[in-house]
Structure 1
Amino acid sequence: MKKFLALPVALATLALTGSLMTAPAQAAPVPGAAVATAPGDLSPEQSHALLEQLEAKLPAGYEAKFAATKARLGLQDSDLQKTAEQAINPDDYECPATTPVTDWVTASIADWTLDDRLNAFIILLLDPITYDALFFPEPAKGRFYGLDGEYTNTVKNTFKGLQGFWDINSKDIETVPAHGDTLLDQGRVARALSAAHGFSAADAASLASTMATIVNQPKFDFGNHPLFTFNAFAWSAEGVAIPGVGLPSDKVVMGDGVLEGFRALGLGDVAPKAILAHEFGHHVQYERHQFDSPLTGAEATRRTELMADSYAAYYLSHLKGAHLKWTRVQQYLETFYDLGDCGFSAEGHHGTPNQRRRAATWGLTLATFTFAPRYIIPTVTFGKLFDKVLPQLVRPDATS
């Protein structure tokens, strides 16, 4: 099973963002679990007590166990062979320490205490929102995207356009939202924790109650803080059933947090299209076996991520795709730039901001100037063309 992150969450540093305010919601009670306290600010002593409650329910070596769960489900890359040897030399690349995206995220949690950050860390580690979206998505008819549904039409129309544009069978792929206030629904959270991590019903209910109490505060936007859904990704079960769940459909998951983040940066009209087009590109890669290459570790991940950037830019620029104007093209190039990272040796390295901008620019050029305006390059051919140009896209670019 595979998951391909567009926006990997930095759990260790909690360097993510958001400042939304919604009407407080009450968490639904779960049989056998204490009902969450009324929404409102908790004292430092209460926050610390809740942290201790969370930690008491976690198994020994929980970080490694949860990482193994994600690896088994394809929720993170697992091939670490020769990663250290093939890691890129950071000194050869221009890569800023922060971007407007990371700055926005960091500012949103500036007033959190250490206990707040640790509580959020454990919630992100358990990740019930992701598992709920993957295993138990809400009915298709009622799905909406964005806190107020403001991106629903954009996401649905863009996805329909992508399905008609690329020459793959995409009828088995669906888009699903990830909403932060899922954390207040103790029944859903408990179900997700049991399915993903094997918690007993009692322990899952207890964890769900504690998490609902933690996030039901203004500082966490009553669950809707973008930190908890600052992600978008493509996922395939690869035909393998999940015990207790069955065979989930292939998906593109769109988190409210990432949509809000780019809206705050003035990219709300273009980023949803660009992000969805990137994730759909991963499904193209899956269908066309384009993850196979001689590369390993960080270099292999970087290749697939940059290719997805190119797929997205091609679709967004193409006359028969989204056909965005040049001003919009510049905006989504800036979007891709902000999504770059400098984790050169990390397994999930997506490419530096400059590399991602070059990959998107290459896709734009291919769509606009290289072939007949109405001709759509077959996906098999597209992959071959990309591999030929890849060395140019990842060339060293440090100025000193």
Structure 2
Amino acid sequence: MSQRSRALGRTFVAVGVLVAAAAATAVPAAAAAPKPSSVEKDIAQLWREYEDLVQVPGLLNVLSESKPLVESPVFGSGREPGAKPGVIPGCTPGSLFSEVDKLRAPLTKLEQQAVDLIGGLDYLYASVVANDKSPQVFGTDGQYTARAAAAIDKLRGFWDIESWNIQLVAYKGTDAASPEKMTETFARAFAPARAAAAGALASKVVHEVPALQGGRNPLLSANAFALLPDSPGGKRVLLGDGLLDLDGRGGFGDVTVEGIVGHEYGHQVDFAHDNWPDGEAGELGPDAYAGYFLAHAKGAAWDARAQQEFAYLSASTGDCKHSHGTPEQRKAAAAWGERQALTQDNPNRIVPSATMIEKFRKEYPKLMKPRP
């Protein structure tokens, strides 16, 4: 596989931290604490079940090796081990982070624990248990299903990589509300009786914490992911309902589905070529590949307005932590990809994916140069 560590966990809130977050917040300090409520007991018990679940090697890898669209508080930082620490001076995170902060701000500590825990279980179900052999419903009310299906079909025919086994799977906050789905998830590690009990407990928590909105709180699925070929669920792209909802609120509803799926499919292009770029290049490359696909006459063939909107959508997911790229860098990468499609001599020719990767490698240093 890669010659470097693949523990890249990059998500809206970051991979690898689900376990750390569980260990840090699962059980409140006992000393002189008031008697816990029944809800607190349920959440603490579910955390313990979750911690045991993710000790299964395959599931632990899913948490640490996926490629999320945005850095996430649930999963941990996507920054490479040798990357520069700290916040980039003068940088303002993309608008998506502001929306997430607004949603998390009024939550109590217990509610935040519940969001992180249930969001983690939703992610594990989508990444390991669910598959595209059953009908996938995209959007909280299924409003994006047709567009998502059309986008993945178009991408499979556009890029010259093995594509028949790349699944597009819905990542839904409501999955944890289903005792059956959660039982299937816990059954990856537990005997049937314990799996059924843990699955029922997960569903109970979803319904007894009002802030979770029965699983419809966007925070539970505010991300998208690309999973590696050797992941337990195989090659797949996860498209989160919460992310689609937040992007829709931000005015990107016309481009969010195709743009996000195009980006995550771009990671599959990198995987297919054993391309594991360090630092921000790992995210800016897929931004560029998506831009190329969306502007190309044989791809989505978007007009100038939609192309510009996608560049701003990419900017909305930029961070300031040397992880996924700043808003300006992500916007520039998307626009660069679009220009490659618009300026090539033959508008109907699709550049081979290996060539696109090499072209981006040459462009990347320019994208990273700070403006004077």
Structure 1 length normalisation: TM-score?
0.75
Q: In 1, distance between residues paired with 2:239 and 2:7?
A: 13
Give the C-alpha shift of residue 67 in structure 1: 9.6
- Pick from 284, 305, 312 the counterpart of residue 283 of structure 2: 305
| Matched ranges for 1:358-373 at <5 A | 358-373=332-347
- Pick from 107, 111, 135 the counterpart of residue 112 of structure 1: 107
Contact 2:329 2:367 in 1 (8 A): yes
Q: Which amino acid aligns with 2:113?
A: L
The residue number in structure 2 matching 1:317 is: 295
Contact 1:355 1:393 in 2 (8 A): yes
Q: In 2, distance between residues paired with 1:312 and 1:329?
A: 10
The residue number in structure 1 matching 2:13 is: 9
1:213 aligns with 2:210: no
Give the C-alpha shift of residue 267 in structure 1: 0.7
1:122 aligns with 2:117: yes
| Matched ranges for 1:80-159 at <5 A | 83=80, 85-87=82-84, 90-91=87-88, 94-96=90-92, 98-124=93-119, 127-138=120-131, 140-159=133-152
Q: Which amino acid aligns with 2:271?
A: Y
| Matched ranges for 1:105-254 at <5 A | 105-124=100-119, 127-138=120-131, 140-195=133-188, 198-216=189-207, 217-238=209-230, 242=232, 248-254=233-239
The residue number in structure 2 matching 1:71 is: 61
Give the C-alpha shift of residue 166 in structure 1: 1.3
Give the C-alpha shift of residue 99 in structure 1: 3.1
Contact 1:4 1:279 in 2 (8 A): no
Q: Which amino acid aligns with 2:347?
A: P
Q: In 1, distance between residues paired with 2:192 and 2:273?
A: 40
Give the C-alpha shift of residue 84 in structure 1: 5.4
Contact 2:170 2:240 in 1 (8 A): yes
Give the C-alpha shift of residue 157 in structure 1: 0.9
The residue number in structure 2 matching 1:266 is: 251
Give the C-alpha shift of residue 222 in structure 1: 0.4
For each residue in 1:331-382, what CA deviation from the matched residue of structure 2 results, as whole angstroms up to 9, or x when unmatched? 11111001111222xxxx2111111111111111111124322221111111
Q: In 1, distance between residues paired with 2:211 and 2:143?
A: 23
Q: In 1, distance between residues paired with 2:140 and 2:80?
A: 39
Contact 2:65 2:228 in 1 (8 A): no
SS in 1 for 2:280: helix
For each residue in 1:104-159, what CA deviation from the matched residue of structure 2 results, as whole angstroms up to 9, or x when unmatched? 222223332211112223334xx222222233225535222111211111111111
Higher relative contact order (CA 8 A, sep 6+): 1
For each residue in 1:288-345, what CA deviation from the matched residue of structure 2 results, as whole angstroms up to 9, or x when unmatched? 2222x5xxxxxx042121110000000111112111111111211111001111222x
Unaligned runs of 5+ in 1: 14-43, 243-247, 294-299
- How many residues in Structure 1 have an aligned counterpart in Structure 2? 339
Q: In 1, distance between residues paired with 2:131 and 2:159?
A: 27
Unaligned runs of 5+ in 2: 19-35, 68-76
1:54 aligns with 2:46: yes
Q: In 2, distance between residues paired with 1:328 and 1:215?
A: 37
Q: In 2, distance between residues paired with 1:156 and 1:6?
A: 25
Q: In 2, distance between residues paired with 1:365 and 1:47?
A: 53
For each residue in 1:71-91, what CA deviation from the matched residue of structure 2 results, as whole angstroms up to 9, or x when unmatched? 3675348xx9x9555427755
Give the ranges of 4+ consecutive aligned residues of structure 1 lying more than 4 Å apart after TM superposition: 1-7, 10-13, 55-60, 65-69, 82-86, 88-91
Change (3 A) 1:343 1:375: same
Contact 1:7 1:339 in 2 (8 A): no
Change (3 A) 1:386 1:138: closer
Give the C-alpha shift of residue 270 in structure 1: 0.3
- Overall identity of the aligned pairs, in %: 27
Give the C-alpha shift of residue 209 in structure 1: 2.5
Q: Which amino acid aligns with 2:366?
A: Q
